[in-house]
């Protein structure tokens, strides 16, 4: 899954909300180059194992896919997902065309209907572009073109960005991301043929320009 935006679009479901359980709905707008418009992308709701510090984006996305809780925003930026569990941490994100999203965590009471309407700021304003090189402390390497999933999720903000692993050899392309502290979650295959999944904390400086090295313990 080298491009999570394309991947989510492939598995987006038209899902009619059941008449039981809790519901989340809203009208999502986004700012692009200073102009506000109806957001284009999808809403994703997955059950989270924990909030922020230990949260796995990959597992929550897999949960959302399995339970058909991924819906395309309509032409007005609106969505609705029902049949949701109560007293369970939910990861809710609006993943927009362009490879970025805004996420939140919350719990719902039984039968609650929660409106999460919002305007998402321009993710590309004051953003930075650079490459990252994954370096294994033990000398191992990712196989060329074998990074299957990579994303960063904000620890001091609510942004998330898909990161391209198409560069091969453990090189990552960070294209127009917001500075801040993030958890990098990455899955891939090593040159020895071993499947690995890692979550690492990285800090993105607003002055970064070229390449940063990311050490995998």
Please state, as a whole number, how many other Cβ atoms lie within 10 Å of the Cβ of residue 6.
11
What pLDDT, in 10s, does the model give residues 178-198?
A: 999 999 988 877 777 778 788
Q: Where, residue-wise, is CATH 2.60.40.10 in the chain? A: 128-216
Per the CATH hierarchy, to which homologous superfamily does domain 4-120 belong? Answer: Carboxypeptidase-like, regulatory domain (2.60.40.1120)
Residue 140: phi, psi to the nearest 5? -70, 165
What digits encode the pLDDT tens for the residues 126-135? 999 999 888 8
CATH code assigned to 128-216? 2.60.40.10
Question: 199, 184 in Cβ contact below 8 A?
Answer: yes
Q: How confident is the model at residue 113 (pLDDT cuts 50, 70, 90)?
A: very high
Distance CA 39, CA 65 (A): 21
Concatenate the DSSP letters of all residues of 35-49 into one string. EEEE--EEEEEEE-S
- Nearest CA among 25, 14, 8 for reference residue 118: 25
pLDDT at 52: 58
% the chain with pLDDT above 90: 53
From 7-16, 39-48, 78-87, the region with the lowest mean pLDDT: 7-16
pLDDT tens digits, 61-80: 889 999 999 999 999 999 99
Where in the chain are all domains bearing CATH 2.60.40.1120? 4-120
Give the mean model confidence (pLDDT) for residues 136-161.
Answer: 78
Max CA distance (Å), the chain: 54
Better-predicted residue by pLDDT, 17 or 124: 124
Instruction: For the full predicted model, state whether its pTM sits above 0.85.
Output: no
């Amino acid at each position: 899954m080298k491009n999570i935006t394309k991947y989510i679009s492939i598995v987006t479901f038209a899902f009619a909300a059941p008449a039981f359980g809790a519901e989340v709905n809203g009208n999502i707008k986004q700012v692009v180059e200073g102009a506000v418009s109806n957001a284009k992308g999808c809403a994703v709701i997955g059950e989270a194992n924990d909030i922020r510090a230990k949260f796995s984006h990959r597992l929550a996305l897999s949960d959302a896919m399995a339970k058909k809780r991924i819906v395309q925003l309509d032409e007005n930026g609106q969505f609705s997902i029902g049949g949701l569990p109560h007293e369970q941490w939910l990861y809710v994100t609006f993943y927009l065309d362009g490879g970025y999203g805004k996420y939140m965590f919350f719990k719902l009471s039984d039968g609650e209907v929660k409106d999460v309407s919002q305007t998402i700021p321009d993710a590309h304003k004051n953003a930075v572009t650079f490459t990252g090189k994954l370096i294994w402390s033990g000398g191992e390497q990712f196989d060329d073109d074998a990074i299957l999933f990579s994303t960063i999720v904000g620890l001091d903000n609510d942004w998330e960005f898909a990161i391209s692993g198409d560069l091969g050899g453990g090189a990552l392309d960070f294209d127009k991301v917001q500075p801040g502290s993030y958890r990098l979650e990455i899955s891939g295959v090593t040159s020895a043929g071993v499947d690995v999944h890692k979550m690492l904390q990285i800090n993105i400086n607003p002055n970064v320009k070229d390449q940063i090295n990311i050490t995998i313990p």
